[in-house]
Amino acid sequence: MLSTYALDSQVLQKGLCTNCGACQGLCPYWDSHRGRTLCYYDCERADGRCQRFCPRMPTDLGALARKAFPGETILPELGPFRALYLARAADASLRAGAQHGGVVTALTELALREGLIDGALLTRAQGTLEPSGVVVTEAAEARSCSGSSFQIPPSLAALNRALREDRLHSLGVVGTPCKTLAVYKMRCDPLPENDNHAGNIKLVIGLFCGWGMDWDGMEALTGRYAASGAAHVDILPSKYHSLEFALGDGAGTVVPVDLDEVLPLVRPACRACADMTAEFADLSVGGARSADGWETDKHWNQIIVRSRTGEELLELARSRGVLEFRDPPDTALDKLKQASLGKKRTAVRTLRALCGGLGYLAPSAGALPDCD
């Protein structure tokens, strides 16, 4: 039997909450403030959507993947897998405001224009601070959400409100791995009497994610290195060991920050996440990595195709000339597997320490032992 107390004791008190918003927008008991999830009252329900949807409640990820992606190849390190591509938006003006190659924005705009979805949950980053979840219904609105913030807003609260209204019947969702996992739990494990209209979710685009930062810590770091405002923040490939603030001052000023100063500000819950590539999604998108080097790669994305829905959208983008494609290097898939496996191993160590041996979030297809 589950309860609000179980969610509080097993997730919030364990330091596992990512502030994804899956428990919010459902009832007045849950809320968020400056990156922290708040529970105002204990609930007497033995089971509820907040517990069902939470990506950090104990979950058999292997069983969920098989249910959500029947018949698909599931790689132990990366989850459901059909293909890997390098691509970027063909529109140079879109790329200029994007985090890397602008693929996610380009695909979201395309899906809205073509009527594949009638709304999309996105995160409006507002530069680098104070991000928020928004549901957009016009292709032109999607571009205002380009770029990334390393703070983590409770975006799924906006999704829950949109689903509850049942006004948009074909929704797309863009989110980090914790958020896309919550979405698949909504779709695959609904409450029989009230599934929050999760069937209205038709497209899920996941974002590669290593970690997010403590809300206050990101503000302090920005104030120290980009007090006049940063237009862009990025984590460079591991050999650079740095985060960069692009100041947007018209002079192209970029301020590097050593990761030794950044890593203590990472949310503890992110170290307990076993998913780097957003395994629960139709398409998963991250920054490109190739032998061409960072100056080239930072303008491209790598895309994992996970489902027929994702494959069809990508082929539509190719036929419409929305995306430009490159062949990934022969080593790309193996490098991606190794990076993902490293995150899973970190998660297992963290979960063993935080959970006292509880079987939280076993890796998706048994690539690693769970935490028992």
Q: pLDDT per residue over 81-108, tens digit each?
A: 999 999 999 999 999 888 899 999 999 9
* Backbone torsions φ then ψ of 250, nearest 5 degrees: 85, -15
User: Closest Cα to residue 21, out of 163, 136, 139?
Assistant: 163
Distance separating alpha carbons of residues 255 and 262, to the nearest angstrom: 13
CA distance linking residue 177 with residue 192, whole number of Å: 25
pTM of the model: 0.93
pLDDT per position as a tens digit, 206-219:
999 999 999 999 99
Across 57-80, average pLDDT = 95
Averaged confidence pLDDT in the chain: 89
Residue 3 — pLDDT band, cuts 50, 70, 90? low
**pLDDT at res. 163:** 94
Q: Quick check: helix, strand or coil at residue 68? A: helix
Tell which wins on pLDDT, 42 or 235.
235
Q: How high is the pLDDT of residue 130?
A: 86
Give 352 or 172, the one with higher predicted confidence.
Answer: 172
Instruction: Give the tokens for residue 314.
Output: 């990508």
Pick the CATH number of 61-212+268-346 from 3.40.640, 2.40.30, 3.30.1490, 1.10.20: 3.40.640
Q: What is the pLDDT of residue 126?
A: 63
C-alpha to C-alpha distance for 83 and 86, rounded to whole angstroms: 10
What pLDDT digit, counting tens, does each position of 252-265 carry? 899 999 999 999 99
Cα 19 off chain centre by: 12
Lowest mean pLDDT among 17-31, 43-57, 310-324: 43-57
Q: Note the pLDDT tens digit of each residue in 328-371.
A: 999 999 999 999 999 999 999 998 887 765 444 544 433 444 43
Distance CA 140, CA 91 (A): 13
CB-based burial of residue 218 (10 Å sphere; 0-12 exposed, 13-18 middle, 19+ buried)? Answer: buried
Burial bucket for residue 55 (CB in 10 Å: 0-12, 13-18, 19+)? buried
Q: CA 268 from chain center: how many Å?
A: 16
For the chain, the domains span 61-212+268-346, 215-265
Q: Is the distance from CB of 279 to CB of 347 less than 8 angstroms?
A: no
**Pairwise CA distance, residues 325 & 101, whole Å:** 11
Distance CA 31, CA 33 (A): 7
Return the minimum-mean-pLDDT range out of 5-14, 72-81, 141-150, 343-352.
5-14
CB 262 within 8 A of CB 213: yes
DSSP class per residue in 94-120? HHHTSSSS-HHHHHHHHHHHTTS-SEE
